[in-house]
Amino acid sequence: MENVRVRFAPSPTGPLHMGGVRTALYNYLFAKKHGGTFILRIEDTDQKRYVANAEQYILDSLDWCGISPDESPKSPGDFGPYRQSERKAMYQEYADLLISKGWAYYAFDDSESLASKRTQAEAEGGKWQYDASSRKQMKNSETLSKEEVDQLLKDSSDWVIRFKMPANDEINFSDLIRGDVNFNSAVLDDKVLMKGDGMPTYHLANIVDDHLMQISHVIRGEEWLPSAPLHQMLYRAFEWEAPQFAHLPLILKPTGNGKLSKRDGEKGGFPVFPLNWVDPNSGDELTGYRESGYTPAAFINMLLMLGWNPGTDQEMFNLEEAVQAFELERVVKSGARFNPDKAKWFNEQHLRNSAHDELAEQVQHLYKDQGREISTSQSMSIVNMLLDRVSFLHEMLNESYLFDAPNEFDAKTIKKKWKEQTPSIIVELRDELSQIDAWEAEVIETNFKLFLERKELGFGAVLPGFRLMLSGKGGGPSIYEIAVFLGKEETLNRIDSGLEIAKTWA
């Protein structure tokens, strides 16, 4: 496949939804798979909904995910500008071309008359739209004289340019995911292409920009499928070759009922945005995947599998593997249900497949952020002990007993496992431990088991009490590794202080 050029074209109207990130990811993978170019174009034609810091949020999100574009407002190439607001001057030329070719016309209807038409149709149990059947009853260049049109254009900017949709044409195209797609133009309205202020709507700007930027494949969300016939007609009107289209499935709520939204995340306690977002109007903060503790690799892997499968049982992919495996034909047509638990599972797997020294360095930084300096060896020990027990790296900071002797003890373990004879057994175990010279996990474990054999005791009679003394908890990582981490002196001291506190449990 030659000269593949794809684009991700979000609107800077708020934070980038994870569905948008998946669209960017699939574009990125397709481009890299075929040696092509991945472009970021900011579609900021809707100035009323424009949010100033949303563009930077989009760029930061893609950078964090590791799928930075080859061409963008930040890294321009030969096809700029990469913001539609900066391309405004060129769109009028193409709108005028459509008018001259008979594919578009000026319309001067005010909002009140349009609303009245819709209200009347609804009252009669129908639906009104501006189309081939109604345009002759409206105030536009199809019904007015040239002199009237020229005068209206001179006197006011309260006009729009509409596409002249044919009355009964078949519109057919092949979608790389959905196969053959067919529409009849009779059900389509005359969409607005440009407003009197010279700002184009999405439809005109999108087609013109894709053509001028030499986009070869348009990979976008399913929500744009209803717009595809208009876009096909625009390519026909301009006499341009249309790119290949591929419409991605929706990401659905965990229940499978409807599109995943911000509200679902708030209700379910999971993020739907890649990074934290602070609403510039309300000041409300929405939590992102990054701040929730997800690694970029896990987030990307999770998104990859939301709507695509490799045709094998493989679920774990790094970005390079994903590039090699990705095929648009393996994207599913139906919506992909989001599973928060599965998202956590991906993070767990990516953490456990990460280099321990890199994780240890991150753990050091996490502790430092909380005001505690720990050594590299301590950080490595924490990773080795806890990695298989956490979903997120920051959860390793929850084990406060690693640095501070417990002052609270698990009530259930005390009730079930702390018996009348337990204190005397722990005293004897302490004496056994005090004789150990090589304070290593294997040696501690061997001596512990020999102690059980000699005393003819089971693990359940001793291990829970020993764990309570060191951590205050009823479960956790290897108690022998905890003892090594604490050191011999601290281990013995905790047993002593724990036994004093245990006198109040009787």
User: Hey, which residues are catalytic here?
Assistant: 262
**Cβ(144)–Cβ(152) below 8 Å:** yes
Nearest to 211 by CA among 58, 68, 97: 97
Element of type H or E holding 336: strand 336-337
Residues 6 or more apart in contact with residue 5 via CB below 8 angstroms: 31, 36, 37, 39, 213, 214, 215, 216, 217
Report strand pairing: 5-8 vs 104-107: unpaired
SS3 421: coil
**Cβ(472)–Cβ(407) below 8 Å:** yes
DSSP state of 22: H
Nearest to 306 by CA among 258, 357, 268, 253: 253
Residues 141, 146, 147, 150, CA torsion sign = positive
Nearest 5°: CA angle at 289, between 286 and 290?
A: 105
DSSP state of 259: B
Nearest to 176 by CA among 242, 252, 237: 242
**Which phi and psi (to 5°) does residue 105 adopt?**
-155, 160
